[in-house]
Amino acid sequence: MAGVSAKHSLNLARLLRAILRRESHGYPPQESLDIVDRRTLAALLRAGGVDSGDPMALPRDLDEFLRTQSLVSNKWALRELGRRMNSEGRRR
């Protein structure tokens, strides 16, 4: 994403993937994230808007996730991401 760090973009994509895989296949978020260290997992989840750091508290709704995450602050990039995901039929 333009104007967004590569690391933050990657982490945002990882969390989006976890949400989508849970929705489509029922996978627990921690399975999709493939992070062994609990502290690392909790830190990623907190950046993703999950204050508790609990993987099961990751929003199930992509719109809610995009609103609450703190990895990417560029509202235009987030709006475009949401629009594209919606146009591809990936959201409910």
Residue 92 lies in a domain: no
Between 92 and 72, whose confidence is greater? 72
Q: Residue 55 to residues 44, 46, 60, 61, 87: CA-CA distances in angstroms?
A: 10, 10, 11, 14, 27
Residue 1 lies in a domain: no
Distance CA 88, CA 68 (A): 22
Question: The domain containing residue 33 runs over which residues?
Answer: 6-87
Domain count, the chain: 1
Chain-centroid distance of CA 32 in Å reads 11
Residue 75 lies in a domain: yes
For range 54-77, the mean pLDDT: 91
The pLDDT of residue 34? 87
pLDDT at 71 over 90: yes
Residue 38 lies in a domain: yes
**Could you read off the pLDDT of 7-63 as tens digits, one per residue?**
999 999 999 999 999 988 999 998 999 898 999 999 999 999 999 999 999 998 888
Token readout for 16 is: 């989006």
pTM exceeds cut of 0.75? yes
